[in-house]
Amino acid sequence: MSSVVKNTVFILFGSIGQKIISLAYFTFLVRMLGKDLTGDYTAALALSTLFVVFIDLGLTNVLIRNGAQNQSNLSQSISNIFAIKILTSIIAYTAMMIFSFNKFDAAFSLLVAASGITMILDSVHLTLYGYLRALGKLNYEAVGMIMSQTITLILGTSFLLLRWPILTLILAFTVASAINVIYSFYQAKKSGFVFKRPETTERLRLVLWSALPFTTAIILGRFYSYADIIILKIIKGSGEVGVYSTPSKISFAFQFIPLAFTAALYPHLSELAKNNTAQFRLVLTNSIRYLLLISAPISLGIFILAKPIVLLAFTEKFIASVAPLKIMILSLIFSFVSFPLGAALNACGAEKKQTAIVAVALIINLIGNAFLIPKLGAMGAAFSALIGNCILGVAGFWFLPSDFRPHLNILIKTALSLGIAVFLMSISVIYTQATLQNLFLSMIVGGAVFISLAFTLGLIAKKDLIYLKSAFGKTKIV
């Protein structure tokens, strides 16, 4: 699994850089715009993100899976996908604008229109990076992440300081995405990509049909992630979206970790599912174990320090965001675990089960939002997100075929030791914050206590460090 670890580290460092820049930029943006304009900005991006899923339709997932198994026909496959995307882009963009003009005013719809162009460009480089992922080359995507976010930061910050209209903040994304398309295309060409004439209409139908399980799951997943913001915008207005956007951004910022794991894990699991189920189970078990070790201390730490974090980052204007943040951050553990489990279901051919799980979570989430948002606003959306993430994290394990399930005994042992470590860490954080009233020192003390306990309790062993080191060294781990 050395290649998986190496690819994970590449994409992980790229994602870390991207998220740090993104969170810093968003924090500055929130301070400059206030709740209402932040709500408009967030809702416009959320709406375009919802509709752009109808452009890709899961085709990139098929490209990665099939390409990892057989790289000889990658150029033809990606050419077919781009032919399909020309049509789906036109349809999705038109539908998005019709919806926006029917539900919102012209000023907001203009933001959506600009954001939609950005999302189309994002869909292009998504597929180009999918081509590179199938070849096991995730380092280029890592560079692209940081480059794109840095451009957005420079342009967006300049526009904010110049007090230019909010539309220019959306256009900052557009410019960055266009440059990312050029970069990813250049790297794909260097790696052997050649445009080919799309195959027959019948063949393109077969490509779409093969993507159907992914299509449904991705559409459901996208609606699950962003529908709450649109519902808040419609029912409660931009101000409540602004209150919700800050805890949502903090929670979402950490998703780069399981996403990085999944990006590297999925092609490898697809390969192992064909010829080595024992190794499949071991790889999946270790992935879940590592994600638990990361998510649990983050979740409990932010829960305890939610108020000073919000006050420091977003000022007292966003004090109403503290309670939703506490609720949402508790779901982080379940959210983390759901990523490798979803990848495992897709890799072993159980896409329909994964789709069913996401569908149930979405339905419950939408019902929760419909009942709770009118009464509780952002708090209602946070409660719905917590319930939905719990479903995703638990159901994925039970619906995996028995031959592909992670080792339950290892995970139970990890959970018990982890519970002790996190409990003692929480006590240290509470005491330090109450005594010294210093956010950064509380975080440092909590982190040091957890890491020490992780080694003491055997949560992190020497073999884990050797295993990670082997990804970049000469040591071979069988």
Domain spans of the chain, in order of start: 2-406
pLDDT at position 12 = 67
75 vs 108 pLDDT, higher one: 108
Question: What number is the average pLDDT over the span 142-162?
Answer: 93
- Residue type at 5? V
Q: What is the mean pLDDT of residues 403-419?
A: 93
Task: Quote the tokens at residue 167.
Answer: 């539309």
Over residues 382-392, the pLDDT tens digits come to: 999 999 999 99
What global pTM score does this model have?
0.81
Over residues 448-459, mean pLDDT: 94
Estimate to the nearest angstrom the gap between the alpha carbon of 357 and the chain centroid: 18
pLDDT at 25: 92
Nearest Cα to Cα of residue 178 among 273, 114, 82, 262? 114
| Alpha helix ranges (H) inside 254-305 | 256-275, 277-304
Mean pLDDT of 117-126: 93
Structure-model confidence comparison of residues 275 and 457, the more confident one: 457
Q: Which has the minimum average pLDDT: 199-208, 265-274, 402-411, 464-473?
A: 464-473
Q: How large a percentage of the chain has pLDDT more than 70?
A: 93
The pLDDT assigned to 135 comes to 83
Q: What is the mean pLDDT of residues 295-310?
A: 96
Average pLDDT rounded to a whole number, residues 234-255: 91
Indicate the average pLDDT of the chain. Answer: 87
Give the per-residue pLDDT at 252.
85
Six token digits for residue 195: 């445009």
Please indicate whether residue 180 or residue 5 has the higher confidence score (pLDDT). 180
Grade residue 475 by pLDDT with cuts at 50, 70 and 90.
very low
Sorted by sequence, the CB contacts under 8 Å of residue 311 that are 6+ apart come out as 319
pLDDT for residue 477: 32
More confident call, 132 vs 373: 373
**Is pLDDT larger for residue 14 or for residue 367?**
367
CA distances from 473 to 72, 265, 467, 469 (A): 29, 20, 10, 6
Q: Is the pLDDT of residue 470 over 60?
A: no
Least confident of 10-14, 61-65, 82-86: 10-14
pLDDT exceeds cutoff 60 at 15: yes
Residue matched to tokens 């300049």: 158
